[in-house]
Amino acid sequence: MLKSTRNIKDEVGKFILEEFLPKGYVLNDDVSLFDSGIIDSLGVIKLIAFIEEKFKIIINPSEVRIENFNTIDKITDIISKKISR
């Protein structure tokens, strides 16, 4: 379980780095993505589209909230819960 959580974090982190940040940027798992301006509301939607495709899960409209996607840790939580169901 620990390993898969790490994998999820790596996959999500890699996507955020490639999609939203310049090369060489170091991203911590607890950095607030929205408050620090790394992603905006459109970025959240792109991130969700990536998560749905990559992890073959469906994010319900009611779950699409900034709070759920504000850090890599929180994103990993929501993905892990969905995968384990």
- 52 close to 59: Cβ distance less than 8 angstroms: yes
**The binder of another protein chosen from 49, 54, 81, 83 (CB under 8 A):** 49
Q: Would you give the binding string for another protein spanning residues 26-45, x where CB under 8 A is met? A: -----------x--xxx-xx
In angstroms, the first-to-last Cα distance of the chain is 13
Taking the least distance from each CB to another protein, the nearer of 28 and 60 is 60
Give the single-character DSSP code of 63: G
Interface with another protein (CB under 8 A): 19, 22, 37, 40-42, 44-46, 48-49, 52, 58-66
